[in-house]
Amino acid sequence: MLTRLALLLFGQVLFNRMSVLLDALGLPLAARLALYAFIGACGLVLSIWIWQESILYVPGIPNAANPFFGSNVKTPQECPEGLRSPRERGLPFEDVKLVASDGVKCHAWFLPAQERATAPTVLFSHENAGSMSLRLPLFQVLHSYLHVNVFCYDYRGYGNSDAAAINEQGLLRDAHAAWRWLVQAAGVDSSRIVLFGSSLGGAVTIQLARDLCQAAADAAVEAPSGGAAEAPLPLGVVLQNTFISIEAMLGAKFPWLDWAFVRRHLLRLHWCSIEHIAHVSVPLLFIIGQRDEIVPPHHSGSLQQAAAAAPLIHVRKVPDGMHNDTWIKAGPDFVRWLGDFIRTAEASPSRW
C-alpha cells in the first residue's frame, strides 16, 4: 500500500513538472491532451506488464483494523479469531506439510470425518486472495453437514507455505503434491476424492483433473488389466465461479486493455481452462453465482460446453450469489447439491 501511494505521489509530481514544461513551450491544448492520453495509456500498459502477477495472486489481504497503513493479513495466525485454526471452530484436524516436485513445502490442513477411511474426501483449492484459513466457515459446513474428510492447502507464497515465485506451473505442482498426499498417506478411500476449486482454485483444479485423467488413461493403455489402479481418478470435480482464461478475464474486467498486442506480447498469465477442461473425463458440478461481480457467470456456461469428455455434468445456479458468497446464499441447497453430486458420480457408468 505504501509503495503504491509513493508511486502515486511521484506520478503527480511528474505530471505537474510536465505541465509546466508544455506550458513554457506553448503547446496547444489539444496537443497537450493527446500527449497526456498517450502517456497515460503507456503508463497503464507498463503497470500491467510489471504488476500482473500481483493483481492475480494476492497472498495478503488488507488488515480490516488498519486497511491503509497496517500490514497485510497473510498467515492464519494473523487472521481474526475463528479464522486462525480449525481448532477455534471445534474441528478435528492434522497439520500437514506437503512437498512439491520442485522441493517447495506447502502448509495444509486435513480435517478427518468420523468414518475417515470410508467417507468421501474433498480436496479444496482456494481463491486468489488470502490464506486457506479464510475459508474455515466453508470447511466447517462441508465437514459437519456433508460428513466428508476435508483437505485444504495454501499455495506457495501463501499463508505458512514456503516463499517462492507464484505462477501457474508452481501452483499446479502444489495441487499435485496435495493429491499425492491424499492418495499415499492420508488413509482415505482414494476412489472417493472430489476435487473442489473456487475462482482461481477452479483453474488449478481443472488442470489437476486433466493431468489425473491423462495419467489414468496412459496407465490403462500400458496395463489394461490393472494399470488404472496405479493412477486413481478423482470421483468428480466441483467448480464454483471459475473463469475461462486470464485472457478472457482481461476482456471482461479491463476492456480498454483488451488489445491483440497486450494479449500476445504483454500478458504472461494464461490459466486457459477452456482448453484443459475438454480433457477432463470425470463428472463435473458447476455452482454459479448469477450476480458474480468478478467472474462473469457465462464463463461457467462456456466451460460446461467445452467439457466434451465429462460423462456427467450438473449445473446449479444461485440467483443472488456473488463471487465470494455463492455457497452462503445457496443455503441448505449447497450441501444437498454436493451430496447428490457425490452419489450420482459414484453411480456414473464412467466408474466401471
- Cell matching residue 130: 488470502
pLDDT at 223: 73
Euclidean distance between CA atoms 146 and 160, whole angstroms? 28
- CATH number listed for the domain at residues 76-351: 3.40.50.1820
- Residue 10 C-alpha cell reads as 511521484
Instruction: Kindly report whether the global pTM for this prediction surpasses the value 0.75.
Output: yes
Q: Which helix (H) or strand (E) holds 150?
A: strand 149-153
Please report which helix (H) or strand (E) contains residue 229, including its range. none
- Does residue 4 register a pLDDT over 70? no
The DSSP call for residue 243 is -
- The 10 Å Cβ neighbour count of residue 166 is 20
Average pLDDT, the chain: 89
Inter-residue contact 215 to 282 (CB < 8 Å): no
| Residue partners of 36: CB distance under 8 A and separation at least 6 | none
Q: How far apart are CA 230 and CA 44, in angstroms?
A: 50
| pLDDT tens-place string over residues 112-161 | 999 999 999 999 999 999 999 999 999 999 999 999 999 999 999 999 99
193 φ, ψ (degrees, to nearest 5): -95, 125
Q: pLDDT for 156-195, tens place per residue?
A: 999 999 999 999 999 999 999 999 999 999 999 999 999 9
Binned at pLDDT 50, 70 and 90, residue 38 comes out as: confident
Q: Where are the domain boundaries for CATH 3.40.50.1820 in the chain? A: 76-351
- Does the pLDDT value for residue 10 go beyond 80? no
Q: With a cut of 60, say whether residue 14 has pLDDT above it.
A: no
